[in-house]
Amino acid sequence: METIHGIYTGELRNNATHVRSGVSIFTDAPTDNQGKGESFSPSDLLAASLATCMATIMGIAARTNDIKIDGMKFRATKFMKADPRRVSGVKVEFDMPAGSYTEREKKILLNAAQTCPVALSVHPDIEQDIIFNYS
């Protein structure tokens, strides 16, 4: 069964719909690549996919190990290279909610982030920089 249906709407824009939920997202080429930059670019979605996958798998690990991460915030920054134009790296930074985390819990969360399906699927040439900020 298909996961996503989409349409190229012109002007370097796309509309992709998640089949099961009906939720749509839009992409636009970035301003440095002939677009208007009015929505996520496809490479922005790669960074978002990596960050949200990490957060999701960390959530599963947290639930399994009774670690409190509700309210965790994250930022994803993508880095591009030219010739050929491609994503060269993604930095994902997690701001952990206040509390004390044991070294074991920190290791569980880091392992979850590093082994999420998207992290394991992106090309090995794409550097993944994962940062945890514990208050």
In 3-state terms the chain splits into helix, strand, coil percentages (rounded to 5) of 35, 35, 35
Print pLDDT tens along the chain (135 aa): 899 999 999 999 999 999 999 999 999 999 999 999 999 999 999 999 999 999 999 999 999 999 999 999 999 999 999 999 999 999 999 999 999 999 999 999 999 999 999 999 999 999 999 999 998
Q: Which two tokens stand for residue 125?
A: 């040439």
pTM, two decimals, is 0.95
The reported pLDDT for the residue numbered 65 is 98
- Give the residue extent of every domain in the chain: 4-33, 42-133
The CATH number given to 42-133 is: 3.30.300.20
> What burial class does residue 83 get, using C-beta atoms within 10 Å of its C-beta: 0-12 exposed, 13-18 middle, 19+ buried?
exposed
The reported pLDDT for the residue numbered 135 is 84
